[in-house]
Amino acid sequence: MAKPVLLVVMDGIGFSKTGLGDAVTEANTPTLDWMMQNCPMTRLKAHGGAVGLPSDDDMGNSEVGHNALGCGQIYSQGAKLVNESIESGKMYDSSAWQELAKNAKDKNSTMHFIGLLSDGNVHSNISHLINMVKRAKADGVSKVRVHALLDGRDVPPLTGGQYIKQLEDVFAELNDASFDGRIASGGGRMKITMDRYQADWPMVEAGWKTHVKGEGRQFASAIEAFDTLVAETGVTSDQDLPAFVIAENGEPVGKIVDGDSVILFNFRGDRAIEMSMAFDMDEFTAFDRGAKPDVCYAGMLQYDGDLKLPARYLVNPPEITNTLSEVFVNAGMKQYAISETQKYGHVTYFWNGNKSGKFSEELEEYVEIPSDNVSFDQRPWMKSAEIVDALIETIKGGKYDFIRCNFPNGDMVGHTGSMAATIIGVESVDIGLARLKEVCDEYGVTMLITADHGNADEMLEKNKKGEVNVRTAHSLNPVPFIIYDKDVKYTIKDGEYGLANVAPTVVKMFGLEAPACWEESMI
């Protein structure tokens, strides 16, 4: 009988290449250090082509990372998926685009675009927006309004003005007697609209009031709003800017009203689901929407396949099949998945190939520990202790063959830009590893330690002038893969591996046959 396996995902903890702002190395991590020195270990590629993104200049993220970890394969993802759809023309041939464009043209109404205005390639890419705006004009749409969420997280902080100018320049070229394109509203991504896992509905409500109702502080232009709010608030990242509304003569230039078409152009699903619920669901109680406008709404992708949300979408998501969870269910093996709210969807929905349901109610158990609704730099330990408490009881129970968990600290605290807090976050994960190591020894469990991408390993960066700035985005660095087992000696084969090689390795440990479409095992 194969030993149970515990897979620990240390979210956002990688290997620094520069040593600049390396909170992982700065942290006191005796357990992780010991494992790296004494256990079989390799470094996994967790970005670019290894997780289905367009190029190795593209940062990995938790969503595509957990897709790859959970399915043992590499699928076209995110920006690459949308790029392919635009290049092939499939996006504009889709029934959703055809319906939205026809609706705006026939009713002489407005086509609205809501989304993250950056080229970070994690949630969105401004090039996709610009392409759609140009196509809208070509298809006879006469009025376009953009509701721009500002980034400073997947791109350098306080670069929002550059993206605003880029879009305004496009409008300046396109606008004529037949076409009127403008930015209508905006705000920082961590202030409005882009909540996830229903952790902070007031964020979404604030976005609804800003984008849909046109309620909020008014400015003559988006660049005026950006410059003024940065100066007044002193924020160090665009993501924290307050909401704003563009107005003329006291009237918002882009309310969303009956008859309009609306596209949420983010391709990543976790922070697009809640606004999609507000637009698409008739029975909705998260906040008072007021008189919900009767619009034609679509997402860039369908963000939740089980909930069919949204009903209309421009690009078909990757059809991920033959996941690790399916292999285990088909073998009659029991699985347990746990994290706190911030990463719960990653060990369930994303792990299972963008499917929110279980493959087997009898063989799978999912546990969500509610995250604290505070800035993570104020509580950098997050729920690591509670996750470990639950894991220890689960391991002692001896019920499950495969157990997986995610510690969000390295990623979520890393995104705050606080080096001191992130060091504490990494140390909290190491304390958890020490406790898990002890229980794995006692109950005969093999523990695998990895990460989905880097972040805490690169908290600072140099700009083109050689100045050192705070970095809040993911890194392009490799991540660890460690096998800890006090009884069984494993050997990792020589080779270059990525996150998709983890699932085949786990299956081989259990003596199961991996699907032919999977990557190779590392042992």
Q: Where are the alpha helices (DSSP H) in 14-125?
A: 23-26, 30-38, 62-71, 78-88, 90-93, 95-106
The residue among 300, 315, 330 that closes a domain is: 315
- 23 and 107 in a single domain? The answer is no
Distance separating alpha carbons of residues 523 and 509, to the nearest angstrom: 8
Can you tell me whether residue 158 is helix, strand or coil?
Answer: coil
42, 86 Cβ separation under 8 angstroms: no
Please check whether residues 142 and 255 belong to one and the same domain. Answer: yes
Q: Is the Cβ–Cβ distance between 298 and 310 less than 8 Å?
A: yes
Asked if 62 and 163 sit in the same domain, the reply is no
What are the structure tokens assigned to 72, written together?
A: 């043992």
Supply the DSSP string of 192-258, one letter for each residue: SS---TTS-HHHHHHHHHHHTS--S-EESSHHHHHHHHHHHH--SSGGGPPPEEEEETTEES----T
- Inside any domain, residue 257: yes
Confirm whether 144 is domain-assigned.
yes
The vertex-218 CA angle with 216 and 222, nearest 5°, equals: 110
Last residue of a domain, which of 315, 349, 374?
Answer: 315
| CATH assignment of the domain containing 439 | 3.40.720.10
Contacts 24+ apart (CB under 8 A), 345-349: 345/196, 345/197, 345/270, 346/9, 346/11, 346/62, 346/63, 346/65, 346/66, 346/406, 346/452, 347/9, 347/66, 347/404, 347/405, 347/406, 349/304
What torsion do the CA atoms of 382, 385, 389, 390 make, to the nearest 10 degrees?
20
Pair 299, 324 in one domain? no
In a domain, 253, yes or no: yes
Q: How far apart are the first and last CA of the chain?
A: 18
26 in any annotated domain:
yes
Q: Has residue 288 been placed in a domain?
A: yes
Q: Could you tell me if 147 and 10 lie in one domain? A: no
Same domain, 266 and 410: no
> Which of 377, 339, 369, 384 lies closest to 31, judged by CA?
384
The answer to whether residues 298 and 440 belong to one domain is: no
Q: Quick one: 396 and 452 in the same domain?
A: yes
The domain of 455 spans 5-73+319-509
> How many whole angstroms separate alpha carbon 334 and alpha carbon 98?
45
Residue 178 half-sphere exposure toward CB, CA atoms < 13 A: 9
Question: Residue 52 and residue 17: Cα distance in Å, rounded?
Answer: 22
The residues facing 493 across adjacent strands are none
62 is catalytic: yes
Domain count, the chain: 2
Q: Which of 16, 55, 62, 375 is catalytic?
A: 62
Q: In which residue are the tokens 């289905």 written? A: 52
Contact between residue 20 and residue 418 where contact means Cβ atoms under 8 Å apart:
no
Instruction: Give the Cα separation of 99 and 172 in Å (integer).
Output: 27
How far, in Å, are 3, 77, 79, 235 from residue 74 at the CA level? 28, 9, 14, 38
Residues 6+ apart with CB under 8 A from 47: 53, 56, 58, 59, 60, 453, 454, 474, 476
Are 370 and 467 contained in the same domain? yes
Is residue 519, in this structure, part of any structural domain at all?
A: no
Same domain, 96 and 222: yes
Domain end position, chosen among 262, 294, 315: 315
* Residue 517 domain-assigned (yes or no): no
Kindly state whether residue 489 falls inside one of the protein's structural domains: yes
Residues 353 and 478 both lie in one domain: yes
**What's the CATH code of the domain at 249?**
3.40.1450.10
Per-residue pLDDT in tens (0 to 9) along the chain, 523 residues: 589 999 999 999 999 999 999 999 999 999 999 999 999 999 999 999 999 988 888 889 998 999 999 999 999 988 889 999 999 999 999 999 999 999 999 999 999 999 999 999 989 999 999 999 999 999 999 999 999 999 999 999 999 999 999 999 999 999 999 999 999 999 999 999 999 878 899 999 999 999 999 999 999 999 999 999 999 999 999 999 999 999 999 999 999 999 999 999 999 888 999 999 999 999 999 999 999 999 999 999 988 766 789 999 999 878 899 999 999 999 999 999 999 999 999 999 999 998 889 999 999 999 999 999 999 999 999 999 999 999 999 999 999 999 999 999 999 999 999 999 999 999 999 999 999 999 999 999 999 999 999 999 999 988 778 889 899 889 999 999 999 999 999 999 999 999 999 999 999 999 999 999 999 999 9
On whether both 243 and 360 belong to a single domain, the answer is no
Burial class from Cβ neighbours inside 10 Å (0-12, 13-18, 19+) for residue 36 reads middle
Q: Whose CA is closest to 2, among 515, 505, 518, 516?
A: 505
Token readout for 375 is: 């800035």
With b meaning 16 or more CB within 10 Å and e meaning fewer, what string describes 361-374?
A: eebbbbbbbebeee
